[in-house]
Amino acid sequence: MAEATLHIGRKISRIRELRGMKQEALAAELGISQQAISKIEQSAEVEESALEKIAKVLGVSAEAIKNYSDEAVIYNIQNNYEGSNNHGANIGHQFNFNPIEKLVELFEENKKLYERLLASELEKIELLKKAQ
């Protein structure tokens, strides 16, 4: 196998990018530094426990990260776009998650993050008012 197919850090990076998530956001969710995420993404191997935590934040399974490939994503996009006449494109493919459910989960997660951010900002405003 080529190195790229084994490099777990690169797979984490690609999935994070496809999710539209910055290293800083992933780091914040995991309670570690952005530099630590950068180091993980440069690592060919990642400890199983860390991989499980990262996978959870990214909304995929650890197996999905291990089995990720750009080719599979491109294949899915090319063969599953709306209006495609290729109805047999998914025969033999096994998906680890329902994309619609994951999308809904991501929207809910974003909503919670915005609510936490708003609460934090309101708390800052109150502290500033008290400090005056």
Q: 49-70: per-residue pLDDT in tens?
A: 999 999 999 888 888 888 888 7
Phi-psi region of 69 (alpha: psi -120 to 50; beta: other; left: phi over 0): beta
Q: What is the pTM of this model?
A: 0.54
* pLDDT tens-digit readout, 66-125: 888 877 766 655 665 555 454 444 455 455 667 777 788 888 888 889 899 999 999 999
Residue pair 65/51 in contact by the 8 Å Cβ criterion: yes
